[in-house]
């Protein structure tokens, strides 16, 4: 009886962690979806992008789906332990096992195809630059997204201010005017021209995005490992509890 109570308590703890992780991931997914200034919004406006890159704009749906599944798993585990339902415990174990195997397979795929990263980044650079030259200053939605992104991340263009050369904005302003975020605010008296943009040397938004990912890489890795550990522990405890309930019957 004491052992059974301990197992139930462990199931509540593990699944509580899974439930909270699911809620956090779901929240991040919703935030990315509604954040109009997200860099992912810019990718959604890039036409004819490679299939692999075009899927990046769907990351919010992936996060929402993963978060929702984790919420369901946490609920199943807690209810199965509380009601001592072998069916719910078995369902819980099966779902967690499938997710764990998918996570392992995904990690292996990322490691194996890591060499494709440079090719994807080069394709992305070409497509985004073409999008800027074609639509910045003409397409209101893309122009607003770029302006909001540059102001939020304190960056200029994809790589630098020259990305705006020959864009509708550039051509319509005398061919020597760049968006204001491409110049330091303390020197931007009037238009942001070539000399001011060169002096400011404000980095591109792509480098800012990479920096943001690198700064949070350890946190992301720690969260991923923590979720994996919770999944393994929860599977072990659920099977022990499942077998114990079976012996009672």
- Say yes or no to pLDDT of 64 above 60: yes
- Give the least confident one: 8-22, 114-128, 165-179, 209-223: 114-128
How far apart are the C-alpha atoms of 249 and 246, rounded to whole Å? 5
How far apart are the C-alpha atoms of 55 and 59, rounded to whole Å? 7
Q: Which two tokens stand for residue 66?
A: 């993963």
Q: How confident is the model at residue 50, as a pLDDT?
A: 44
Segment 23-50 shows an average pLDDT of: 62
Cβ count near 175 (within 10 Å): 10
- Say yes or no to pLDDT of 53 above 70: no
Segment 130-150 shows an average pLDDT of: 88
Q: Which of 246, 248, 135, 151 is nearest to 202 (CA)?
A: 151
Q: Return the percentage of the chain with pLDDT > 90, whole number.
A: 7
Q: Which two tokens stand for residue 47?
A: 């036409």
Q: Are 155 and 146 in contact (CB under 8 A)?
A: no
- The model's pTM is 0.55
The chain-wide mean pLDDT, for the chain, equals: 77
Q: How confident is the model at residue 161, as a pLDDT?
A: 92
- Say yes or no to pLDDT of 25 above 70: yes
Segment 13-42 shows an average pLDDT of: 72
């Amino acid at each position: 009886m004491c052992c059974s109570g301990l197992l139930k308590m462990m199931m509540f703890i593990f699944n509580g962690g899974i439930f909270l992780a699911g809620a956090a991931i779901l929240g991040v997914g919703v935030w990315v979806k509604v954040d109009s200034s997200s860099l992912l919004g810019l990718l959604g406006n890039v036409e004819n992008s490679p299939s692999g890159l075009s899927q990046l704009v769907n990351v919010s749906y992936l996060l929402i789906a993963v978060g929702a599944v984790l919420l369901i798993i946490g609920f199943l585990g807690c209810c199965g332990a509380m009601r001592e339902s072998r069916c719910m415990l078995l369902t819980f174990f099966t779902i967690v096992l499938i997710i764990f195997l998918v996570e392992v397979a995904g990690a292996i795929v990322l490691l194996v195809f890591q060499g494709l990263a440079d090719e994807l980044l080069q394709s992305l650079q070409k497509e985004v630059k073409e999008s800027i030259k074609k639509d910045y200053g003409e397409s209101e939605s893309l122009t607003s997204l770029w302006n909001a992104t540059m102001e939020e991340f304190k960056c200029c263009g994809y790589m630098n201010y020259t990305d705006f050369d020959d864009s509708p904005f550039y051509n319509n302003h005398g061919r020597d005017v760049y968006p204001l975020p491409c110049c330091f605010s303390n020197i931007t008296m009037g238009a942001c021209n070539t000399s001011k943009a060169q002096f400011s040397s404000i980095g591109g938004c792509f480098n800012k995005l990479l920096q943001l990912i690198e700064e949070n890489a350890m946190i992301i890795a720690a969260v991923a490992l923590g979720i994996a550990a919770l999944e393994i522990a929860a599977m072990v405890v659920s099977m022990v509890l499942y077998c114990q309930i079976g012996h009672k019957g």
